[in-house]
Amino acid sequence: MSIGYITLGALDVEGALPFYDAVLGVLGYRRGPLAGDWVFYAKDGAPGICLCKPFDGQPARGGNGAMIAFKADSHDLVKAAYAAALARGGTDEGPPDHRPPEAINGFYGAYFRDAAGNKLCVFTGV
């Protein structure tokens, strides 16, 4: 079994587009059309990403302890996605670096949150 798509809640789907266009664009995702309160991003060979207002009508909010990690092909793409996130209103949760700093496994990642509080990671290695 594999993951088909991931859904993230957004307080303002249209307002979230510049953030996700920039971050996911760096990673090779393409955005589909905005359809009401839904938008879908796709990349060949990767799970889709859907942004939408929550079905229950309650405010979108990030899950405490929940995070989505996007695999990048290089340190430069990790840095570019992180910079794009912060430039589009994202908040820092950990700048690009090896995790843990003394790691020998090659993991290199950056962490940030979107406006709704969803925690995201972009990483390479491992």
User: In the chain, where are the structural domains located?
Assistant: 5-55+66-124
pLDDT of residue 1: 66
What average pLDDT score do residues 98-122 get?
87
pLDDT of 65 reads 82
Cis-peptide into 54, omega within 30 deg: no
* Residue 101 scores a pLDDT above 70: no
Compute the distance between CA of residue 107 and CA of residue 115 in angstroms, rounded to an integer: 26
Helices and strands, number each (H, E), in the chain:
2, 8
pLDDT at 85: 98
State the Cα–Cα distance between residues 82 and 112, nearest whole angstrom.
Answer: 7
| CATH code of the region 5-55+66-124 | 3.10.180.10
Q: Give the model's confidence band at 29: pLDDT under 50 very low, under 70 low, under 90 confident, else very high.
A: very high
